[in-house]
A and B are shown apart, each in its own frame.
Chain A
Amino acid sequence: MSTAKEWLLDQSPSSKLQASMGSSYRMMRQLVRNPLAVIGILILLILVLAAIFAPIIAPHSPMGQNLGARLLPPSTEYWMGTDELGRDIFSRIIYGARITLVIVTLVAVISAPLGLLIGAISGYFGGWTDKVLMGITDVFLSMPKLILALAFVAALGPGIENAIIAIAITSWPAYARISRAETLTFRNSEFISAMRLLGASHARIITRHILPLCTSSVIVRVTLDMAGIILTAAGLGFLGLGAQPPLPEWGAMISRGRTFILDQWWVATMPGFAIILVSLGFCFLGDGLRDVLDPKQRGS
């Protein structure tokens, strides 16, 4: 055990693997010292486990209707009550974790690399490329995100895929700004000039030497944005423009429960708690990550 630790904390790592494992180990140690970050990690762990093991955890089927058990209040049989078709709300929330996870993952996978690349290209080449790309970025940034996403979904048509595309389209500009700012700080450094002298192509310099250095600040920002992405996705679901019934998407579930809110409060409120919990988890983790990866911005 102690040798593994020594290997990880070695001041002069002998391989690339050892160096990167060592730095992630140091980061993890710093991260777990922050209690809120630990809570965030635990919440997200629960989310991932719930998504993977949904069929085992959920006591009932998320789609199976049982009209004999409509709108039952929370009980030992139905932990969070049942909805208007007699479906167990707890089971639906567990299965809904899958949808939430898919949405946030896909949005991150689409928008973060897009923003990174646009920002790095813009910062690296400068001049007109920079002006045009940042002009487009600024226009997107100056727009309210939710409204823009709504307009895109209106044109693309309702549905979970289109909701993901719309949210991704509205998320990338912030990442482009960040990675451009990072790129500007080292575009004239010696290691970049050295690579150029060695004959590396622009594409190689950007992908191999610039992007990796921008990644950590973008990761922090993506984690902090996750709460907003979840809220937007839930909002689209609530308006009937995101995931379509009978999918157990949390926002859509709240929308269904709206009709019964005065008498059967649990139908609409329970999925809301799930949304809050997961969003808070991302906020906590994002705050912790920022302190570790991006100490410059600490406290802001």
Chain B
Amino acid sequence: MSTDISKSHRLKRTVLSLGGFIIVTLLTFIGLMAITFFIGRVIPIDPVLSIVGDRATQEQYDTVRLALGLDRPLIIQFISYIGDVFQGELGHSISTNRPVASDLLKVFPATLEMATLGIVIGVGVGVPLGVWAAAYHGTWIDQIIRVFALLGYSVPAFWLGLVGLVVFYANLGWVSGPGRVDIFYEGLVEPRTGLLLIDSALAGDWDVFWNALDHLILPASILAFFSVAYIARMTRSFMLDQLGQEYITTARAKGVAEWRVIWTHGFRPIRVPLITVIGLSYAALLEGSVMIETVFSWPGIGNYLTVALLNADMNAVLGATLVIGAVFILINRISDVLYRVLDPRSR
């Protein structure tokens, strides 16, 4: 009987917290849209003038103004803007002459592919580095890893990209240069997921696969550098907290092997907080890809955004901002929820 009650209670709590999650996420999305709406409709002194140009007649001006719905009150405009966004209507891009939404759908996989490989490298290198630094706390190994991690906060991504291109592409010739694949491999594989590595592997076209990987590895590694820095720093600090606990001393006193103390006793408890860190880092990579993509002519959302910026293509700029912002918020929220689900203490 009592288990029944606690079960229904737990269910109720899960539903409630899920509802809370959805409401908070939705509110944040609406806040995000309020910002892009503000940037697009309120800051420009006259959005009509930027479309028709200053030599338009009064009639032309009025038609465009009506077509944009600018004669309505601001709040009505905002509500219809939210409606448009939820229907995937982000306006027309003046630089590609296509709907912004379909443009974004086309470029997003390229960014996702790079950021995903980036986070894989970031976790694979950053976590062991952080654990290593904590295990050798206070020695020169720790110091080197600490300074390396601080470099991650101080090196401009675009500069590191340029240096990487010069060293690994131009001088050493280890990797391929800018772009996603060599020009004669372009369009060979039918885009199913948009992720070139997966598409080419599915099609069994290994030439394209290796060529794409060759192009991807350098920008992804440079992007990964920034998450390595962040993840290593956080892992180190979590590990130091754990290794200072009394049960670790007990384990050591018992004569447990040092690697077991570190990986089993020390590392296991920090896996849950690390998930949040990795989530934050993944979201930050999507942001960092803007600069890297520009340097590597990578046809992703970052490149799309910067091209739009230089052409003052506001619909495309705001559309890309919305999508990056939405993904950023979503990843953050999900890692937050994961943390709560996985860590019983936070319930």
Binding site for B on A (CB under 8 A): 135-136, 138-140, 142-148, 150-156, 227-228, 231, 234-235, 238-241, 251, 254, 258, 261-262, 265, 268-269, 272, 275-276, 279-280, 283-284, 287, 299-300
Given A150-B309, A241-B309, A280-B150, A254-B39 contact (CB < 8 Å)? no
Complex CA distance for A137 and B328, rounded to whole angstroms? 16
Give the size category of B's interface with A: 35 or more
Task: State in angstroms the CA–CA spacing of A239 and B28 once bound together.
Answer: 29
Contacts of A234 in B (CB 8 A): 156
Provide the bound-state CA to CA distance between A24 and B246, in Å: 37
Q: How far is the CB of B320 from chain A (nearest CB, A)?
A: 8
Known contacts A276-B155, A283-B153, A299-B240: does B166 contact A265 (CB below 8 Å)? yes
User: In the complex, how many angstroms separate the beta carbon of A296 from the nearest chain B beta carbon?
Assistant: 14
Given contacts A138-B28, A262-B170, A284-B150, contact A239 B39 (CB under 8 A): no
What is the bound-complex CA distance between A124 and B240, given in angstroms?
A: 36
- Residue of A150, A284, A299 contacting most chain B CB atoms (<10 Å): A150
Most chain-A Cβ atoms within 10 A of its Cβ — which of B159, B163, B321? Answer: B159
Interface flags, B16-46, vs A, CB<8A=1, else 0: 0000000000011001101110011001100
The interface residues of chain A lying within 8 Å CB-to-CB of B306 are 150, 239
Residues B28 and A235 in contact, CB atoms below 8 Å apart: no
> Are A135's CB and B27's CB within 8 A?
yes
A-side binding surface: helix, strand, loop or mixed? helix
User: B179: CB under 8 A from chain A?
Assistant: no
Contact in complex: A148, B40 (CB < 8 Å): no
- Binding stretch for chain A, among B2-10, B82-90, B285-293: B285-293
| A-B interface, 9 closest residue pairs, ranked by CB to CB distance from nearest | A139-B31, A279-B154, A272-B159, A144-B287, A155-B43, A280-B154, A151-B321, A155-B39, A154-B317
CB-contact partner of B305 in A150, A235, A287, under 8 A:
A150
What are 24 A-B contacts defined by CB distance under 8 Å?
A139-B32, A142-B325, A143-B329, A144-B324, A147-B287, A150-B309, A151-B39, A152-B43, A154-B308, A154-B314, A156-B43, A227-B153, A228-B153, A231-B156, A251-B156, A254-B159, A254-B162, A265-B166, A269-B159, A276-B151, A279-B154, A283-B150, A284-B150, A299-B237
B222 within 8 A of A: no
Q: Is B156's CB under 8 angstroms from A275's CB?
A: yes
Please measure, in the bound complex, the distance between the C-alpha atom of A238 and the C-alpha atom of B31, giving whole angstroms: 29
The interface residues of chain B lying within 8 Å CB-to-CB of A151 are 35-36, 39, 317-318, 321
A178 to B35, CA, bound (A): 22
Q: B275 within 8 Å of A by Cβ?
A: no
Query: Which chain A positions have C-beta within 8 A of B317?
Result: 150-151, 154
B172 at interface, CB cutoff 8 A: no
B44 and A238 form a contact (CB under 8 A): no
Which of A142, A151, A153, A239 has the most B CB atoms < 10 Å from its CB? A151
Taking a contact as CB atoms under 8 Å apart, the answer to whether B328 and A144 are in contact is yes
Q: Is B242 part of the contact surface with A, judged by Cβ < 8 Å? A: no
Interface check B235, CB cutoff 8 A: no
CB of B324 within 8 A of CB of A227, answer no
Residue contact B332 to A143, C-beta cutoff 8 Å: no
Residues of chain B touching chain A, judged by Cβ–Cβ distance below 8 Å, are: 27-28, 31-32, 34-36, 39-40, 43-44, 150-151, 153-159, 162-163, 165-166, 170, 237, 240-241, 283-284, 286-288, 290-291, 294-295, 305-306, 308-310, 312, 314, 317-318, 320-321, 324-325, 328-329, 332
Closest chain B residue, CB of each to CB of A283: B150
Q: For A275, what are the chain B residues with a Cβ–Cβ distance below 8 Å?
A: 154-156, 159
Q: Is the CB of A283 within 8 A of B154?
A: yes
- A147 proximity list for chain B (CB < 8 A): 287, 290, 305, 320-321, 324-325, 328
Chain B contacts for A258, CB-based, 8 A = 162, 295
Contact A261:B165 (CB < 8 A) given known A143-B328, A144-B287: yes
Identify the closest chain B residue to A278 (Cβ): B154
Q: Which residues in A have their C-beta under 8 angstroms from that of B157?
A: 231, 235
Docked Cα-Cα span, A121 to B288, in Å, equals 34
B320: A residues at CB distance < 8 A? 147
Beyond A136-B31, A156-B43, A300-B237, whether A150 also contacts B321 by CB under 8 A is yes
